[in-house]
Structure 1
Amino acid sequence: MNLERPQAPDPYELLPRVPSFTLESPTFADGGTLPTEQTYGGGNTSPVLRWSGAPEGTKSYAVSCFDPDAPTPSGFWHWFVVGIPADVTELEANAGLIGGGSLPRGSVQLRNDYGTDDFGGAAPPPGDRPHRYMFAVHALDAEDLSLDPSTPPAQASFVMLEHVLGRAVLTGMSAAD
């Protein structure tokens, strides 16, 4: 693997600016290494995520995990959930199980780039540099975006773009090889 390739830009810096709010996890610190449980070979367990301070007018949330450092032109989507009710401000560990785990009623998990409808853990190619896994909570002005589980995450991102009121991002890193 070519470790000399440039780092991909922060994808959220390329989108229209929206207000930020707080996103944290007791599982890992922003910029810290993801625990083994959040890796593909260590459990595929989605982390605890907690958020606060979303903009007024929020009617639902979408939660995603994206690796912009994957050696593809389009990065790699590890998780994408839409339809999280506006009164929800926390997802438990392993909420991203196939079938929805403990996701709130009405939530829809989209197919990730592994081809499964769940959280797919961190898995940079052997020998590659550490990757960024960007967990984002998007506050939306709509309760339902009319997306079904077969909607690709990139398409969902495009559809929800005009509905984003605010965004909070928390980045976990893969362990160095």
Structure 2
Amino acid sequence: MKARYLLPLLAMVSFASSAMTLSSQDIQEGSRMANTYAYNGFGCSGDNQSPQLSWQGAPKGTKSFAITAYDPDAPTGSGWWHWQVVNIPAKVHSIKRDASGHIKGADELTNDYGSKGFGGVCPPAGDGMHRYEFTVWALPDAKLELPANASAALVGYMLNAKALDKATLTATYVNP
């Protein structure tokens, strides 16, 4: 393989070995979330609170963060976006439980329930266990430029295109 092709491949491999970590006092990797984080509607009766999240190990050059919460198991053909928060200042490295709407300087975008902010977990009754991927993204720009009505697909595209690094915590939920 020619040397000019090797450098881009090495850059992709180094991104795969993420230095960032994401943790939570409220949810754990692979464990079922409490009803505190479930939606109140669509056949679910939860408190619709976003979980506490903390992250560390952001790469040099990080000027902002984004948080997404996504259900890849939703029976839609395209998953379900529960939360998209962009333009979180670089000095922020944790958020409290029920922080949706209270992250200073951040912009919360429309979730797949059709409202801005966090929309709790709520798989269809009897659909089995769903995974919920909470991801924190380290970004090189202080502000991610998006149209006011940006779709989840556009936000995902921009995050993947610009991310310096990311860390994901995957929890589960079952709606009997």
- Superposed, 1:88-107 pairs within 5 Å as 88-96=92-100, 100=101, 102-105=102-105, 107=106
Q: Verify: 1:80 aligned to 2:84, yes or no.
A: yes
Instruction: Report the structure, 1 or 2, having the larger helix content.
Output: 2
SS in 1 for 2:164: strand
One-letter amino acid matched to 1:43:
D
**Structure 1 equivalent of residue 30 of structure 2:** 31
**Structure 2 equivalent of residue 124 of structure 1:** 123
Gaps of 5+ in 1: 1-15
- Structure 1 residue 44, shift from structure 2 partner: 0.8
One-letter amino acid matched to 1:124:
P
**Structure 1 equivalent of residue 3 of structure 2:** none
Deviations 1:73-106 (A, max 9, x none): 100000000000111000111111xxx2x2122x
SS in 2 for 1:162: helix
Deviations 1:106-146 (A, max 9, x none): x1000000000010111110111110010000001111111
Q: Verify: 1:64 aligned to 2:68, yes or no.
A: yes
Provide closer, same or farther for how the CA distance between residues 131 and 82 of structure 1 changes in structure 2, counting only shifts above 3 A: same
Using the alignment, how far apart are the partners of 2:163 and 2:89 within structure 1? 14
Q: Are the counterparts in 1 of residues 123 and 175 from structure 2 also a CA contact under 8 Å?
A: no
Q: Are the counterparts in 1 of residues 67 and 134 from structure 2 also a CA contact under 8 Å?
A: yes
- Structure 1 residue 20, shift from structure 2 partner: 4.1
Deviating more after overlay: 163-172 vs 149-158:
149-158
Q: Structure 1 length as normaliser, TM-score? A: 0.84
- Superposed, 1:135-150 pairs within 5 Å as 135-150=134-149
Gaps of 5+ in 2: 1-11, 40-44
Q: Verify: 1:54 aligned to 2:58, yes or no.
A: yes
One-letter amino acid matched to 1:133:
Y
Computed over aligned residues only, the root mean square deviation of the Cα atoms, in angstroms, reads: 1.4
**Structure 1 equivalent of residue 133 of structure 2:** 134
Q: Are the counterparts in 1 of residues 133 and 168 from structure 2 also a CA contact under 8 Å?
A: yes
How many residues matched? Answer: 157
Using the alignment, how far apart are the partners of 2:123 and 2:148 within structure 1? 25
- Displaced runs of 4+ in structure 1, greater than 3 A? none
Identity of aligned residues (%): 41
Using the alignment, how far apart are the partners of 1:34 and 1:54 within structure 2? 26
Q: Structure 2 length as normaliser, TM-score? A: 0.85
Q: Are the counterparts in 2 of residues 135 and 170 from structure 1 also a CA contact under 8 Å?
A: yes
Q: Are the counterparts in 2 of residues 63 and 136 from structure 1 also a CA contact under 8 Å?
A: yes
Using the alignment, how far apart are the partners of 2:36 and 2:77 within structure 1? 27
Q: Point out the structure with max Rg over C-alpha.
A: 2
